[in-house]
Chain A
Amino acid sequence: MRKRYRELIYAIVGIVVITAVYLGVYVLAGELPAASSFVGHWTGVIGFVVMLLAETVYSIRKQARNAKWGRMVGWLRAHIVMGVVGPYMVLLHSAMHFHGLAGVVMLLTVGVVISGVVGRYIYTAIPREIEGVDPARLAATRKALATWRSVHIPLTWTLFATATVHAVAALYYVTLSR
Chain B
Amino acid sequence: MNSNRLDLYKIYKNFGNVKALKNVSMNTKSGQINCILGDNGAGKSTLVNIISGVFRQDEGDYKINDEIVSFSSPMEAMNAGISTVYQNLAIIPIMNIYRNFFLGQEPTKKGFFKTFDKEFATQTTIEELEKFDIKIENPKRAAGTLSGGERQILAIARALYFGAKILILDEPTSALGVKESNKVVDQIISLKDQNINVILISHNIEQAFMLSDKFFIIKNGDMIEQFEKDQTSVNGLRKILEK
Same complex for A and B? Answer no
Question: A residues within 8 Å of B by Cβ?
Answer: none
